[in-house]
Structure 1
Amino acid sequence: MLDMAGISIPFLSEHVAETDHGGLLRNIEFLCAELGMTLEGEVFWENGQRNVQRLRHKFESLPSSFASLAYKVTDGTDFKRWPYVRISGCPAKLLQGHNVYGSDNADLCIMSLVEAFTLAFPELSTSLDWFHATIDFIDVTYSAQVENEVVAQQVIDTLRHLNYGQTRLSADHKKFKTTIYWNKGSEHKELKAYLKLPELDNQIKQLTRKWVNEKHDHLKYQIEQITKPHIREAATGAVRFEARLKSRWLTANGIPCTLAYFTNPENQPDFPALWAKAFNDIFRTFAGATMNAHDNTEVLNQLRAIHFRMTPNGNISYAKAETLYDLYTAIMKDGFKKTKDRICERSRATWKRKIDDLQSAGLSLAQLMQFTGENANVIPLIRLINVDFANQLPADFTEPLPLSRQLKQPQLRLAS
């Protein structure tokens, strides 16, 4: 599903005074005085009418519970150097009131953000150059379903130690019990794995608290949607893998980051393939696991079965297998990182060769990386992580109507 998206729309040149460094809006006060908006805020629809208010959160770090459309007017003072409006929101929440599951139809999802903004601010929208609007990022999310929340938490605990290639654990990877981040702050892609049910419970608490104070109908509607039994059932045991793909990464992978491209019904990026490529480093660590890394006897027997040699006098030597077993027990005792650092002080090539040998015997990197040297009862669960693209949606799911049809407003279509 497309879980979040950000779009930047520049102002038309007739509304901009050009400068040596780009441009400035001719009359920014017009936005506040005549359009009834702040320079940074959120808009939601209630009984077919727009409701605009100041944004409660930093625009750059909207929480996962955010269900409205956020907007920010920038007066050509940042790196883009030309005045523009940035909008950001969750298509599924705008279209159906929840994002436990949802569509990955690019046209439907991206247009939901566009329609939410243009229908709320029709006057401002005519001042924007939609033809040159660009996609800043998209969040592509798919889930692995496990049997219960206990197993789901164990999966997160296993994933918490995985680093590989260009995908690095963020510094705060131990800060959140049910969430892990990789490449946080990267200008190319950010990855996240988390449990959906705790997030859903937190969202219910936040919305209920807001409903007590504000009594907006759209809050009541969201609470009704996310507290339905089948929604909770879908969230239970769901381990979510979210890839925030930014414009640099998308462009490098052959996806034009233009609004016209994403809203053309004939263009449908292969989101599962893009998502898999983004998570490739993480999932590569699972490869090759054919035995239980916590069964010492099984590991030793398998090492002996793979790494032996015949001596000149016809005897079998298990010297290499025994050396590799010593490395395996050191990793179990001291942890993967500490053992790696110690051996790499002498020779990185030696470390790589020995790890390759352990992998050839059926131990995966993910299994080895879960050993941290701490006395934690980590259960080997790599085999349970199975993202089934064919079963991301309920059997009776139907695509929601475009937002304009839900609001009974004229449907928009962008000219490419």
Structure 2
Amino acid sequence: IKGAVEDYQIKAVPSYVKKDLKTGDLTLGDSYHPFESLPTSHSGMAIKFYAVNVANSNPYISLNASVKILQGHNVYGGESVLNLASEMLNLLNEVYPAFYSCLNIRGATIAKIDSTFSVSLPSDLLVQPCLRFLSNIGDGHRKSDTQRDFYNTVYFGGKTSRYGGAKIYGKGHELKEEITKLQKSAKLGNTQSINKLKVLNPALVDWSKTLLRFESTTKARQLKRLLYPVNLWDFINYQRDEDKDVLTRLWRYWFDPILSILKGDIMPDIDDSEVYDLCKSNLMSYTKSGKVSYTKANNVYNFYILLKRDGYVAVKSRYARRTFDENVQNLTSLGYSKSVLQNLSLDTVKTVPVSEIVKMDFTKQFPDEYTPVISEHIYKFAKYLNGGTIEFNKFHNLYDLDGNLLPQRKSTT
């Protein structure tokens, strides 16, 4: 693409406007395309054309959307990348056909891709306590990012990471805030808001109330490191021909290290005397003369008391790394998970039924009656796939013989 932004009949604004105070003449800076949301009957798709000052690449357009543009919500949804990509590209073509005709569609790449799983807790009252508990766990590069630890979201990974990250949040709270905004807009007569509220029905809201959402974001740089394709069509072919569960694998890359911390026989109601008894019975040793020694047991118990009094992070800063890790390992060997040790100094250990977190069931991702919405534009993009057509037997049961997307099992793209 060459030339000015407005040459392609796409929305353009000047980078600056300067007025001559004497003559009143206006001087306009170079045009650029601002962030824009292309409307659909359900939701919008964010787009941004990077036409000027683009480093290390040709000018390009960025598209960002979720399954909302297909069904009006993303409380649950399918996992077909082709399905969502087809809807996104077709929308761009409909709004800006002249601009679309200049694009190298075959060269489209994935900048980032999200994959989510949700778990339903026994009560919506447990969502916030569980988030507070999870905000204190971390392991290696998956440490919780407390700088962005908002009321309803716990982040793992830096905000500016070029590889991606993960977050956990309460879906019900997020949906409630969205509905509140839509209701205000609907009262002013906004037709799109009125239509959106029809989709966000009481049954959907009720389903979302107890959901704890686990969402991963994998960026292009990390896709390359994991040896996955970054070209959009190559990735779709890979999902079709090689691994229909590729989004699940990306999700597990980010969350397995986090969830593994929760493993173990967790006892939220910890009694100090019981801890000491466990230390004595499991960590005792014998001297050369054959006498029982409780030196190690006493040291580990004292370490436990320090964790409870001062907190995991503070104690870790005062110990040599090897000594600290050995003490933690000794306590986990007694049945106390690392996640509880990281929360010992907080009230959450007593108020959160941590066993419910350990039992998290990710198999039930949507109601039994749910059928994913299929983009009617899929076949327009078959020419970009290997072979030039959609071969159903190679889609690993993603589609039936009539081209209908079969019920999806796990994540929301």
Classify the TM-score, shorter chain: 0.7 to 0.9
- Give the 3 Å change call, closer, same or farther, for CA 211–411 of structure 1 in structure 2: farther
Residue in structure 2 matching 1:415, options 384, 388, 391: 384
Task: Report what 1:162 is aligned to.
Answer: 137
Q: Tell whether the 8 Å contact from 1:303 to 1:324 is kept in structure 2 after alignment.
A: yes
**Structure 1: which amino acid aligns with 2:80?**
N
Q: Tell whether the 8 Å contact from 1:138 to 1:245 is kept in structure 2 after alignment.
A: yes
- Give the 3 Å change call, closer, same or farther, for CA 140–286 of structure 1 in structure 2: same
CA RMSD, Structure 1 to Structure 2 (Å): 2.4
1: CA distance between counterparts of 2:172 and 2:254? 24
**Structure 2: which amino acid aligns with 1:384?**
E
1: CA distance between counterparts of 2:347 and 2:265? 23
**Structure 2: which amino acid aligns with 1:317?**
S
Q: Tell whether the 8 Å contact from 1:260 to 1:415 is kept in structure 2 after alignment.
A: yes
Q: Find out whether 1:322 has 2:322 as its counterpart.
A: no
1: CA distance between counterparts of 2:376 and 2:177? 26
Task: Report what 1:248 is aligned to.
Answer: 221
1: CA distance between counterparts of 2:208 and 2:353? 19
Uncovered stretches (5+) of structure 2, i.e. residues with no partner = 14-32, 386-413
- Give the 3 Å change call, closer, same or farther, for CA 292–251 of structure 1 in structure 2: same
Cα deviation, residue 322, structure 1: 1.9
Q: Tell whether the 8 Å contact from 2:164 to 2:222 is kept in structure 1 after alignment.
A: yes
2: CA distance between counterparts of 1:331 and 1:366? 12
1: CA distance between counterparts of 2:100 and 2:298? 70
Task: Report what 1:18 is aligned to.
Answer: none
Q: Tell whether the 8 Å contact from 1:75 to 1:84 is kept in structure 2 after alignment.
A: yes
Q: Tell whether the 8 Å contact from 1:95 to 1:403 is kept in structure 2 after alignment.
A: no
- Give the 3 Å change call, closer, same or farther, for CA 303–292 of structure 1 in structure 2: farther
2: CA distance between counterparts of 1:395 and 1:402? 21
1:110-169 deviation line (CA, Å, top 9, x unaligned): 222222222222221110001111000011111121111221211101011122111232
- Give the 3 Å change call, closer, same or farther, for CA 307–72 of structure 1 in structure 2: same
**Structure 1: which amino acid aligns with 2:40?**
W
2: CA distance between counterparts of 1:387 and 1:75? 46
1: CA distance between counterparts of 2:143 and 2:293? 39
Q: Find out whether 1:266 has 2:261 as its counterpart.
A: no
Worse-matched range after superposition: 34-43 or 194-203: 34-43
- Give the 3 Å change call, closer, same or farther, for CA 102–315 of structure 1 in structure 2: same
2: CA distance between counterparts of 1:178 and 1:27? 43
1:58-92 deviation line (CA, Å, top 9, x unaligned): xxxxxxxxx310111111423343111111111x2
TM-score when scaled to structure 2? 0.80
Cα deviation, residue 323, structure 1: 1.5
- Give the 3 Å change call, closer, same or farther, for CA 35–271 of structure 1 in structure 2: closer
2: CA distance between counterparts of 1:411 and 1:37? 29
**Structure 2: which amino acid aligns with 1:326?**
N
Q: Tell whether the 8 Å contact from 1:191 to 1:244 is kept in structure 2 after alignment.
A: yes
1: CA distance between counterparts of 2:287 and 2:267? 28
Task: Report what 1:27 is aligned to.
Answer: 4
TM-score when scaled to structure 1? 0.80
- Give the 3 Å change call, closer, same or farther, for CA 293–351 of structure 1 in structure 2: farther
Residue in structure 2 matching 1:42, options 37, 40, 45: 37
Cα deviation, residue 221, structure 1: 1.9
Uncovered stretches (5+) of structure 1, i.e. residues with no partner = 1-14, 16-24, 48-66
* Equivalent residues in 2 for 1:112-127, closer than 5 Å: 112-127=87-102
| Aligned pairs, number | 360
Cα deviation, residue 202, structure 1: 0.1
Q: Find out whether 1:189 has 2:184 as its counterpart.
A: no
1: CA distance between counterparts of 2:261 and 2:269? 14
- Give the 3 Å change call, closer, same or farther, for CA 348–401 of structure 1 in structure 2: closer
Q: Tell whether the 8 Å contact from 2:139 to 2:258 is kept in structure 1 after alignment.
A: yes
1:154-186 deviation line (CA, Å, top 9, x unaligned): 110101112211123224244x22211121221
SS in 2 for 1:71: strand
- Give the 3 Å change call, closer, same or farther, for CA 272–327 of structure 1 in structure 2: same
1:313-356 deviation line (CA, Å, top 9, x unaligned): 5543332112211110111111111111122xxx2221121111
Identity %: 23
Q: Find out whether 1:334 has 2:310 as its counterpart.
A: yes
SS in 2 for 1:150: helix
Task: Report what 1:357 is aligned to.
Answer: 330
SS in 2 for 1:220: helix
**Structure 2: which amino acid aligns with 1:82?**
N
* Equivalent residues in 2 for 1:63-142, closer than 5 Å: 67-90=43-66, 92-142=67-117
* Equivalent residues in 2 for 1:162-241, closer than 5 Å: 162-174=137-149, 176-183=150-157, 184-213=159-188, 215-216=190-191, 218-226=192-200, 228-241=201-214
Cα deviation, residue 284, structure 1: 2.5
Q: Tell whether the 8 Å contact from 1:178 to 1:194 is kept in structure 2 after alignment.
A: yes
